[in-house]
A and B are shown apart, each in its own frame.
Chain A
Amino acid sequence: MMRVFEGLRFRRIPSPVHELDPRSKAVYVAVVSILSIVYSDPLVLTVLLIIQIPLVYAAKVVRFWLNSLRGSTFLAVFIFAVNLLTSYLYMGGFTLEGLLTATAMTLRFILLMGVFSLFFLTTTPEDLSLALEKLRIPYDICFAFTAAMRFVPDIALEAQSIMDAQKSRGLELERGGFIERIRKTLPILVPLFIRSFQRSLELAEAMESRAYGAIEKRTSLYELKMSKNDYVFMILSIILLTATLLIKPP
């Protein structure tokens, strides 16, 4: 289990995509999302998906990207199966049209997944928090966001210890029926939350000792700045949007 978190912990890789400003990447994510929602043609969606690949390569996050896509297999299969089934029920048989719609919807899902995970794989938590601040989101929320990210590996370790401890007391997590297995998670959830609550008190003390919130207007050591590459990237994104809409109106 720890491997999951270890593998996905953010790594600052020197790549052109990592160096882009989160705001310009957000424009790109928005463009791809809009396009993927506007079009339900499998061809357009495939082309959009292919456009992601060089970017993922440039960002040097291929393995992580594929990993996060694998995590969404359940929903992708669900969307495909349900779409196919409804077209079967409503049109009285498997039609090419039904198959195309099911494929398009699954592609749309994979595309949305892919573009968002590219964004998060290439944006450091600190940059994200700075960008949120620039968007005038209250600092309390930005801080909670970064702090949560920082504590995830610790709490994961805690969860692992709790699971081991309960197993050593005879809790068999992997056995039993559906409801039985769900009930067995309670002895893990309760200590996990209590420990989180205790940690929050420790964190609050640490924050207070550093005079959190004492000064109304905060300043940052690092400021986000848009570079030339950012403007180029944003313009390319907007060109992608307008060109697609012009070449193949939905």
Chain B
Amino acid sequence: MLPGPKSRVKAVALTAMTAAAYTVGVVALAPISFYIYQVRVADALLALSTILGLPVIAGTAIGCALANLYGGYGIVDIVGGSLANLIATTVGFLIAKRRFRGSLIVALLAETLIVSIIVGGYLAVLFNVPLEVGFLSILVGSLISINLLGYGLVKVLKRLGHYG
């Protein structure tokens, strides 16, 4: 288990760096598209809330808002996306904290579902996109980025242990 930062200053610093890394990931690693599915690679960082907790929760929310500054998806991200990230990573963290068998997979699935429901939800409410369509297209993208890439990221980092 990776140690989440214990001191307040370290937590604040890690929050800032996670936010910056997320922003760079969103902008620099261009999303990989496949028909209407778009995989946002940086969302793999959401999975890290399961091992690092609060700094990743706040960091990915701030990073999502920041990505907008660099010409991301505007309002869709800055309010909805940040909120989705915030809630998803919090729930993921709370589930992973209980450490039962397969808790990591359950936590990541929960994150994916929450992101899809929130983003799909406001796409439906704001822009008249049918709930199923928005939900499904986000779900496929998030499943790949959070569950496939994110799972890999968590596994690799855990194996590396105390890095830094």
Residues of A within 8 A of B (CB): 1, 4-5, 8, 10, 33, 37, 40, 67-68, 70-72, 74-75, 78-79, 82-83, 86, 101, 105-106, 108-109, 112-114, 116-117, 120, 140-141, 143-145, 147-149, 151-152, 154-156, 158-160, 178-179, 181-183, 185-186, 188-190, 192-194, 196-201, 203-204, 207-208, 212-213
Contacts and interface: CB of A to CB of B under 8 A. Distances in A.
Say which size band chain B's interface belongs to.
35 or more
B20 A196 contact: yes
A178 B160 contact: no
Contacts of A182: 32, 39, 41, 144-145, 148-149
A4 B27 contact: yes
Given A83-B129, A149-B66, A181-B32, A200 B17 contact: yes
What is the predominant secondary structure among interface residues of chain B facing chain A?
helix
A211 B102 CA distance: 42
Contacts of A193: 21, 45, 48, 153, 157
A186 to B, nearest CB: 5
Given A117-B71, A148-B66, A192-B21, A101 B128 contact: yes
Interface of B: 5, 7-21, 23-25, 27-29, 31-34, 36, 38-39, 41, 44-45, 48, 55, 58-59, 62-63, 65-66, 68-76, 78, 123, 126-130, 133-134, 137, 144-145, 148-149, 152-153, 156-157, 160, 163-164
Contacts of A141: 15, 58, 62
